[in-house]
Amino acid sequence: MKGPTLAKEKDLEISKDEIPTWPYLVRKEFLAAIICTIILIVWSILLDAPLEELSDPTMTPNPAKAPWYFLGLQEMLVYFDPWIAGVVFPVLIIIGLMAIPFVDFNPKGNGYYTFKERKFAMLTFCFGFHILWILLIIVGVFMRGPGWLWFWPWQEWDLHRIVAETNYDLTNFIGINSKSFLGFVLGGAVVIGYFFMGMTLPYRFMKARKSIALEKLGMIRYAMVSFLFLSMMALPIKVCLRLVFHVKYIWVTPWFNI
């Protein structure tokens, strides 16, 4: 009887690097749930829900806003063509989520989600979710007023406000018509070069340093991760170009505009 008993005791032993779920993890999750509940209760008491009057079929509201959970997509329409903001980016998000099990090379398997174990994954997710999604929703809810113009929270919405804003295509800055053949070639070179250099330079840098992550990823998975990452970073880059330099499109084609 000693053999099975000793084996069972060894199975129940906890290593120095592990802690039991109960009570340590459950206690923290319970405290986090209580804190979030208190914040939501106080928020709901101090701030009224942004509800408007009943809809009137004879009057179109200004601004006409989508439900709050779609305002991120509506805000992206300011910077991209509708098919990119409403089709391409959501499809890339779905593809990226589907690719996670394929590109994940963590040898410890499921259950290890600490920042130490998955720095790149957690930073990428936090940036994509909080900056590229939640922040766009906040902008759409609180910053966009009549005419989808930018209003700071302390500014009153003016229905008659007019903002004279001139936007240019990227090739217009060097005196080339974006709709000409040369503008088409230059715009395409910028977009293709962005992805080519964004994938090639980190690959050579990691290969020169004999990165273990590159060896574990392999060529196919590295290309997939880098393409999805560069596509995600294209959104804040385009937003900055539009808001700071008034760049409307980088690549103008007869079929689509980027």
Return the domain boundaries, the chain. Answer: 68-107+116-249
The identity of residue 132, as a single letter, is: L
Q: What is the pLDDT of residue 31?
A: 95
The identity of residue 174, as a single letter, is: I
Spatial contact of 249 and 178, defined as CB atoms under 8 Å apart: yes
Q: What is the pLDDT of residue 111?
A: 62
Q: What is the pLDDT of residue 112?
A: 66
The tally of CA atoms less than 13 A away on the side-chain side of residue 120 is: 9
Nearest Cα to Cα of residue 226 among 249, 194, 251: 194
Spatial contact of 86 and 97, defined as CB atoms under 8 Å apart: no
Spatial contact of 217 and 105, defined as CB atoms under 8 Å apart: yes
Q: What is the pLDDT of residue 131?
A: 86
Helices of type H across 71-110: 71-76, 82-83, 89-103
Predicted confidence pLDDT, tens digits, the chain (258 residues): 454 555 455 445 555 667 777 888 889 999 999 999 999 999 999 988 777 778 788 888 888 888 888 888 888 888 888 888 888 888 888 888 888 777 777 766 566 677 777 777 788 888 888 888 899 999 988 888 888 888 888 888 888 887 777 888 888 888 888 888 898 999 999 999 999 999 999 888 888 887 777 777 788 888 888 898 898 889 899 988 888 888 888 888 888 888
Q: What is the pLDDT of residue 104?
A: 76
pTM here is 0.73
Nearest Cα to Cα of residue 153 among 170, 164, 141, 165: 141
Q: Which residues contact 12 (CB under 8 A, 6 or more apart)?
A: none
Q: What is the pLDDT of residue 36?
A: 96
For residue 70, the SS3 value is helix
